[in-house]
A and B are shown apart, each in its own frame.
Chain A
Amino acid sequence: MSLIEVRDLVVNFHTRWERRRGTKPNAVDGVSFTLRPDETLAIVGESGSGKTTVARCVVGLQARQKGAVLFDGAPVGPVAKRPPATRRAIQMVFQDPAASLNPRMTVRSIIAETWRTHPSAAPDGRSWDAAIHELLADVGLDADVATRRATALSGGQCQRVSIARALALRPRLLVCDEAVSALDVSVQSQILRLLTGLRAARGLAILFITHDLGVVRQIADRVAVMHQGRLVETATADDLFERPGHPYTRKLLDAALDLEGA
C-alpha cells in the first residue's frame, strides 16, 4: 500500500474577487500521485510550478481547495487537525538551513523540543542527552554541537541539525524542500550521502522537491514533473531521463547544463 496518496489536489491563492471572476489559474491544479513507504519521489519544476505548494499540502502546512491527501490510506487534513502519530510520521527539511532553526536555541533544546511536543517519541529508559548525541552522530555531527546555537554553525551543519530534528521523531516520510540547493557543492554531496544512507538504514520515504535535475538523477526512484500547477509526467527516474515522454520534460532536460559536453 502507498504511504502517501495525493488525489486531485487543487490549491489556489485567489482573492474573493479573483475566485468570482474565475480567470486566474490555480497554483496546483488537479495533482495526483502516490508514494511507497521506502521510495524517494522527486517533484521537479521551475519556480511557480507549484511543487513547494504540493509539499506543504502533504505536510499539512497549506490548506487546499479540493482533493485529498491520504496517509496510510486515511485522509489527513491540516497539520493542526492531524492525530499526533501522523504529525510525527511526516517531517520536513527546509531550503534555508539557517532560517529554519531558532537562532536563540541550542541544538540540544531544538531537538529536545520535538520530544516535549511529542512525548511518545521521547527516548525512554535513557537520558535525553545520550539520545541527542546518538542522533547527532547519525547525521555526522560531533556531540559538542549540542551546546551550540544555530548561528555558530555552517550551512551544512545547520542542515544536518534540521535532519536530526526530523529524525528525532522517527518519521516515516521526510519532505525535503530544496534541502541541498543553498549549500556549497562540496557540502551538497555530504548531505545527499547522508539522506540516501538514512533512507537505507531506516526505511524512510523521501519526497524531494528540487529544481536541480542532476541531483534528482542521483537520488530519486521516481520523478514527477510539474508545470504551471499540473503534473505533466510521472515516471521512474531511469525512464524520465532516458525517454522523456512530455515535451515540457524534454525542454527542461535540454535546458539543463552538464559539465561534460559543454
Chain B
Amino acid sequence: MNRSSNVTDPSSAVLDAEPAPLLRVEHLSIDLPGPAGQVRVVDDVSFTVAEGRTTGLIGESGSGKTMTATAIIGLLPAGAAVSGRMAWHGEDLVTMAEQDRRRLRGRGIAMIFQDPQAALDPTQTIGRQVGEILRRGGMPAKEVRRTVIDLLDRVGIPNPETRHAQYPHQYSGGLRQRAMVATALAGSPQLILADEPTTALDVTVQARILALLRRVRDEEGMAMLLVSHDLRVMAHVADEVVVMYAGRICEVGSGREVLNSPAHPYTRALVVSVPAVRSKTAIAEPLPGNPVSPAERPSGCPFHPRCAKAQDRCRSEVPQMRQVAAGRQVACHFPEEA
C-alpha cells in the first residue's frame, strides 16, 4: 500500500515516471479469422509494463483486452496473425520460436485465469499442479513438496501440509484462486498476467485476493498486467492503466490520474457509471448503444457513435495517441482537460 501511494505522489512522479520497462508492447495488432474474413481484434496497441509495477488493462467485452494478454503469453488461437513488437529482455515475443516461448511460459511470464475452477485439473491434487513447473525444472520431489507447501502458505492457504494433498473440489472459490496465484508464483516469473482474477469471487473474498496480489507485487517485486472491466479493482491495485475500446487504446496514464480525471470521453463514461457504496450516487446518464465489436468497428474514432462530443472529424479521422501530460496519453480529437 505504502509503495503504491508513494509512486502516485505528485512530487515523486518525475522520479518514478520511467521505471525500467520490463515488457514493451509496440504497435501490436492481432487479426483473427472470422466468418466474414479476417477481423482485427487488436489494432495498433502500444504500452509498457514496468518492473515491479501493476499495469491495468481496462475494457468492456470486445475491447481486445484479453486477446492482448493472450498474445503476450503466446496462447492465441491457431490462425491468429500478429504484427508489431513485444520487446522482452532484448527479444521480440512476436517472432520468438515456440520452443523458446514454452521455456518462458511460467518462468518468465505466468498467467492467472479468471475461472480457477476451469483452469485447475480436477483429477490432480493442488500440490501436484502448483509444483508442476518445479518438477519439470528437475527439482527433487522432496524439495518440490517443501517449496509447494511454502508457496501455499505464502498465498494464505491455511494448513498447507494437509491442503497441498487435496483436490480442487475440496477448495472454495477463493482458495482455488489463491492456488492459482501460487501456481503462477511457482516459476518465479518476472511478469504475471492476471485476467479478471476476482470477477468470479464474492466481495469479501475479492478484497482478500486483491490484497494478496498487492503483497506479491510489493514483496516479490513482480510486475503484473491486470486485465479487468472492473474499475473499482483497477483503482485499488493498478499503478498504470490502459483503457481499451473496440481493439484500440483510448487512454494511458497513472491509475489515479486516469480514474480521477479521465481525459477520454469513453473513460469518463466508464468512471461515472460505477456506482458507489460509501455515498449515494444517481444512476449515471447512460451511453447510447452497445460496445462495438472489432468486426464492426466504425470509421474514424471507434467510439464516435456513442460519444456526445463527436464532430465530423471524429467520424472520418482515427485519433492518434498523443501526450496530454507527463505519462498521460489520449487518443481523442477533443480530450477533456486532464
Q: Which residues of A contact B (CB under 8 A)?
A: 46-47, 154-157, 184-190, 192-193, 196, 211-215, 217-219, 238, 241, 251-253, 255-262
Contact = CB atoms under 8 A, between A and B. Distances in A.
Given A156-B290, A185-B231, A259 B204 contact: no
B277 A218 contact: no
A203 B219 CA distance: 55
B279 interface: yes
A186 B235 contact: no
Given A46-B203, A211-B202, A252-B204, A261 B275 contact: no
Contacts of B259: 259, 262
Contacts of B61: 155, 184
B231 A255 contact: no
A193 B283 CA distance: 7
Q: In the complex, which of the residues B259, B279, B283, B285 has the most CB atoms of chain A within 10 Å of its own CB atom?
A: B283
B324 interface: no
Given A154-B290, A186-B270, A189-B273, A213 B203 contact: yes
Contacts of B276: 214, 217, 258-260
B139 interface: no
B286 interface: yes
B208 to A, nearest CB: 8
B315 interface: no
Nearest to A184: B60
B269 interface: yes
Nearest to A187: B290
16 contacts: A46-B202, A154-B291, A184-B229, A185-B229, A186-B60, A186-B291, A189-B284, A214-B275, A214-B277, A217-B276, A218-B275, A253-B278, A255-B204, A259-B271, A259-B276, A262-B232
B283 A219 contact: yes
B204 A218 contact: no
Contacts of A186: 60, 269-270, 273, 286-287, 291, 306
Interface string B167-192: 00000010000000000000000000
B281 interface: yes
Given A189-B284, A213-B203, A252-B203, 14 more contacts: A154-B291, A155-B290, A184-B290, A186-B269, A187-B286, A211-B202, A219-B283, A252-B204, A253-B278, A256-B277, A257-B233, A259-B231, A259-B271, A260-B276
Interface-central residue, A155, A157, A185, A260, by most chain B CB under 10 Å: A185
Interface string B302-320: 0000100000000000000
A184 B291 contact: yes
A145 to B, nearest CB: 12
Q: Is the interface of A mostly helix, strand, loop or mixed?
A: helix
A256 B271 CA distance: 17
Given A47-B202, A184-B229, A258 B283 contact: no
B211 to A, nearest CB: 11
A46 to B, nearest CB: 4
- Tell which of A186, A238, A260 has the most Cβ of chain B within 10 Å: A186
A217 B235 contact: no
Contacts of A238: 280
B286 A193 contact: yes
A47 B235 CA distance: 24
Contacts of A155: 61, 290
Interface string B189-202: 00000000000001
Contacts of B290: 154-157, 184, 187
Nearest to B59: A184
B207 interface: yes
B203 A258 contact: no
A215 B275 contact: yes
A218 B279 CA distance: 10
B207 A259 contact: no
A255 B203 contact: yes
A46 B201 CA distance: 9
B141 interface: no
B304 to A, nearest CB: 15
A172 to B, nearest CB: 23
B166 interface: no
Contacts of A184: 60-61, 229, 290-291
Of A211, A215, A255, chain B has the most CB atoms within 10 Å of the CB of A255
A192 B284 CA distance: 9
Contacts of A211: 202-203
Contacts of B163: none
A157 B288 CA distance: 12
B282 interface: yes
B278 A260 contact: yes
A241 B60 contact: no
A187 B290 CA distance: 7
B203 A217 contact: no
Interface in B234-264: 235-236, 256, 259
A185 B270 contact: yes
Contacts of A218: 275, 280-283
A185 B60 contact: yes
Q: Which of B235, B275, B284, B285 has the most CB of A within 10 A?
A: B275
B283 A192 contact: yes
Contact of B283 (A189, A212, A252): A189
B229 A260 contact: no
A156 B60 CA distance: 13
Contacts of B281: 214, 217-218
B274 interface: yes
